[in-house]
Amino acid sequence: MNRLRTILLFFGIGIPSLLSAQDFYTQEQRDKWMAKAETNKPKLTEQEKKPVQLVKLEADDKAFQGWKATPAGSVDQLYQQAFKKQSGVVIDFGEHLTGYYTFTMKESANVLDGPLRFKMTFAEVPGELATPFDPYTGGLTRAWLQDEIITVMELPATITIPRRMAFRYLKIDLLAGSGNFDFKITDMSFKAVTAVTNVPVQLAANTDPMIKKVDAVGQATLKECMQTVYEDGPKRDRRLWIGDLYLESLANNYSFKDHELTKRCLYLIAGLSRTDGYLNANAFENPKPHAQAGAPFLFEYSLLFNAALKEYFIATKDSEFVLDLWPVAKRQMDNISKHLDDNGLFNVNAAQKDGWWIFVDWRDGLDKQASLQGIMIFTMKETLTLAKLLGKDKEVSQLNGLIDKMTKAAKTRLYDKKTGLFVSGASKQVSYASQAWMIMSGVASKAEAQKAMKAIAGYDNVVKPGTPYLYHYYIEALIKCGLTQEAKASVIDYWGGMVNKGADTFWEAYDPDNDKLSPYNFFPINSYCHAWSCTPVYFIRKHPEIFQGP
């Protein structure tokens, strides 16, 4: 399409505006999808939460990011004493919460004769409170950091901060106040919100104890991210992304089973697709649902939409809905052959030059060729499976040939028989990402897959996953090739590692060897409750037999 445009423009031939403006789906169709998205918008459940204790931040080399929060008294202690001397207090709500904070202030000595200025910092982890935000060095807007400056003009006052917060810890600093009086802070409460309404069935009693903990933290993560859309993170970016939607809906299919939210989100993504029918990678809900205009096309996410749709069908058998969106799934496949070389190998550079965003993982230096080759094959297979279930396989029969060709190309060009490892790019880079996707896609036979997964564990110069997002596919690949005990061990090692480091919810980025890893160059801006990290809930509940026993 872009090449065509270039050629036409080169010859001075304008592209008729009708052509470029033509809507692949029609406005009428979109309106219907958007109306259904609205119909399926959940009414959030609200729960009033109270703080559980005061804590003190202590530097500790052994603690996550070097900081731990230790008990420092009861909340009543805060309420009953004048506040000034308590400025800097840290309040612990005992769990990760998403919603709205309310507190009351009243005078304790004399009469307020001037306003009060506060900084209220809401944090998901202790290190976020212990690290000064300014001067800010992060790569995303500093405004995501949850410190609000508020002026209180009169007392008593009951104040609700209008911004929705995601946090466990709250630090209150009095920035300014007259010297002639003091006051008390009291009656703190938090209106916690989530779209979750169901309670998952309990795990078998003989489930591994650490697996039980991982499951609980995974559920908390998923619950916090399930709002009026599947958010990527309730602190940041509070946005629907296809990649997170896919993993969250997998976990939800096997736990809360609040399926309306999945339906809503898939409708939103479809309704907000580009005019050419390809999907925008994310969506915003307010003030009315809209895609991020001008954002790059995230190729692999558009493909994973199909996998999410297939899994939704398997979980619900809701063929009416899935048939409604089948044309969207079918359309995404039209991109597969756009940047293949003659042998059927995906050309990452060409795609990127075309403005496509290739993601795979937050990890500097990761070569993405093999991963994309795998993702493309995997999603073609998922699409075919869905097509068969819907009786639509003839509509996408061309995928069979593409799968064969691309599998052959991968086997020939991306597999190092000597080491038994899949490699990527000109440098023949070895990464967890490449192994995972070559296995997920079925390029690797079961034997090759097991060999690769065992070899990589002892391989020195390997690019490890930077996020639980990629770790998910790594675990899925282990299970797929029958390395179930390795899968269990990895879940315990990786997600259990977060649990051991005090995680209340699972983190956006986690490298066991680097607590301060941040995709944004400043760890406090990381999301510490992130959708794509919740998937042990899915593994554990889909394959309970793997996760039993100590």
Q: Shortest approach of a copy of itself to residue 100 CB, angstroms?
A: 13
Cβ-contact 212, 203 below 8 angstroms: yes
Alpha helices in 174-318 (DSSP H): 209-225, 242-253, 259-271, 299-316
Show the tokens assigned to 338: 């756009």
Looking at the Cβ atoms of 295 and 350, the one nearer to a copy of itself is 295
Looking at the Cβ atoms of 24 and 284, the one nearer to a copy of itself is 284
Question: Helix, strand or coil for residue 175?
Answer: strand
Cβ-contact 275, 24 below 8 angstroms: yes
Question: Helix, strand or coil for residue 245?
Answer: helix
Q: Shortest approach of a copy of itself to residue 483 CB, angstroms?
A: 39
* Cα(470)–Cα(533) distance, integer angstroms: 9
Q: Shortest approach of a copy of itself to residue 154 CB, angstroms?
A: 5
Looking at the Cβ atoms of 272 and 492, the one nearer to a copy of itself is 272
Q: Shortest approach of a copy of itself to residue 376 CB, angstroms?
A: 27
Which residues in this chain contact a copy of itself in the complex, by CB under 8 A?
A: 109-117, 136, 140-144, 148-149, 151, 153-156, 163-164, 175-181, 236-237, 239, 284, 286-287, 290-295
Length of the chain: 550
Question: How many other C-beta atoms are found inside a 10 Å radius of the C-beta of residue 440?
Answer: 25
Q: Shortest approach of a copy of itself to residue 152 CB, angstroms?
A: 8
Q: Report the Cα 185 to chain-centroid distance in Å.
A: 36
Cβ-contact 499, 488 below 8 angstroms: no
Looking at the Cβ atoms of 66 and 115, the one nearer to a copy of itself is 115
Burial of residue 348 (CB within 10 Å: 0-12, 13-18, 19+) is buried
Looking at the Cβ atoms of 355 and 550, the one nearer to a copy of itself is 355
HSE on the CB side for 343, CA within 13 Å? Answer: 12
Looking at the Cβ atoms of 178 and 514, the one nearer to a copy of itself is 178
Cβ-contact 379, 334 below 8 angstroms: no
Parallel, antiparallel, or unpaired: how do β-strands 67-71 and 157-160 relate? unpaired
Q: Shortest approach of a copy of itself to residue 86 CB, angstroms?
A: 18
* Cα(351)–Cα(68) distance, integer angstroms: 45
Q: Shortest approach of a copy of itself to residue 176 CB, angstroms?
A: 4
Looking at the Cβ atoms of 75 and 105, the one nearer to a copy of itself is 105
| Sequence letter at residue 386 | L
Q: Shortest approach of a copy of itself to residue 119 CB, angstroms?
A: 9
Looking at the Cβ atoms of 108 and 316, the one nearer to a copy of itself is 108
Cβ-contact 188, 468 below 8 angstroms: no
Looking at the Cβ atoms of 292 and 485, the one nearer to a copy of itself is 292
Q: Shortest approach of a copy of itself to residue 90 CB, angstroms?
A: 21
Q: Shortest approach of a copy of itself to residue 239 CB, angstroms?
A: 8
Residues near 13 by beta carbon (within 8 Å), at least 6 away in sequence: none
Return the DSSP state at 258. Answer: -
Region for 66 from its dihedrals, namely left if φ exceeds 0, alpha if ψ lies in -120 to 50, beta otherwise? left
Looking at the Cβ atoms of 15 and 109, the one nearer to a copy of itself is 109
* Cα(388)–Cα(381) distance, integer angstroms: 11
